[in-house]
Amino acid sequence: MAKVKGAVVVNTERCKGCNLCVVACPCDVLELHPREVNNKGYHYVYMKSPDDCIGCASCGVVCPDGCLTVYRVKL
């Protein structure tokens, strides 16, 4: 079976920091940014450990605002 690597692209200005994607991620890849905020004043999501992403898209499915785009690459 081919190994799959994923990448999550976050629309930081649209993210409201609801934390749903962080909880949904089975690989503990996402985290709310502890210090930085977007123009609306929300802490946004970022990939804290991008090498662990498997591209399952669980985060993108649960995002209520459609802020996440998930890419998958077969290695």
pLDDT tens digits, residue range 13-42? Answer: 999 999 999 999 999 999 999 999 999 999
CATH architecture classification, 4-74: 2-Layer Sandwich (3.30)
Q: Coil, strand or helix: which one is 2?
A: coil
For the chain, the structural domain boundaries read 4-74
pLDDT of residue 75: 83
Contact partners, residue 16, CB within 8 Å, separation at least 6: 40, 42, 65
pLDDT tens digits, residue range 37-66? Answer: 999 999 999 999 999 999 999 999 999 999
pLDDT of residue 52: 94
Higher pLDDT, 12 or 4: 12
pLDDT of residue 39: 96
Rounded Cα gap, residues 58 and 75, in angstroms: 20
